[in-house]
Structure 1
Amino acid sequence: MEFTLVTARTMEQGMYIDEKFSDDYFKATACCEMSEEDMKALGLKEGDRVRITTEFGSVVLYVKKSVLDLPKGIVMIPLGIYANRVLPSESGTGTPLYKCIKCKVEKTAEDVLPIERIVEEVIR
């Protein structure tokens, strides 16, 4: 299904920003939020895994029902290493786009990669 991806700072992501290899930071950033209506349309329940794909990359995340009351068709990923996997490196201004990125969301049985594994892939 096609969605619009936005990223945002969250309280949890901000609380653990200095502990990037902790379980708390993993839980705060290895997820996405969607409306309950969109989750039902995709046959998802909280804790299921989804693959989010944009023209810039893809990432597997845990899904949660939005606490922000997101409108239908919007997916939110907290800022961090997981969001960076699906964002452009820059927008021509020296800053990446963080909002309004078209994406595809699909349920998956794939595992969410640990932060350490993503870091290894980036530095290779």
Structure 2
Amino acid sequence: ARVLDFVPYDRLLPKVHAMVTNGGYGSVNHALSLGIPLVVAGTTEEKPEIAARVAWTGAGINLKTGQPGSRAIADAIHQLLGNPSYRQRAQALRDAFAGYDALASIAQALENLPGPAERSRLQPALA
């Protein structure tokens, strides 16, 4: 195990079996896009919601604290690595991510926006 201030995810994540994270959006999505199960411990910003979603999908374990003890982390890692369902769910999410073309969806949504003439007809008259 290593503790670092910065982790180059592109180089590191393809080599790991599991990830312990504070539940930041970027790290969670990057790990799941590679099918890596997670142990999540975060209580600030959006992190509790992300941790809850990771647990709900079955792709990881939510420690429900921002300051877990070493025993809680170790137990969660053992549970994660000892139960293949976590990896299977993370890999199912990886496959779902791979089948979704976000840029095409964004382009389609932009194309479906009303043009200037339509927008002016939709806006209520200002008195």
Q: What TM-score comes out, normalization by structure 2 length?
A: 0.26
> Which structure's residues are more often helix, by fraction?
2
Higher relative contact order (CA 8 A, sep 6+): 1
Q: What TM-score comes out, normalization by structure 1 length?
A: 0.27
> Which structure's residues are more often strand, by fraction?
1
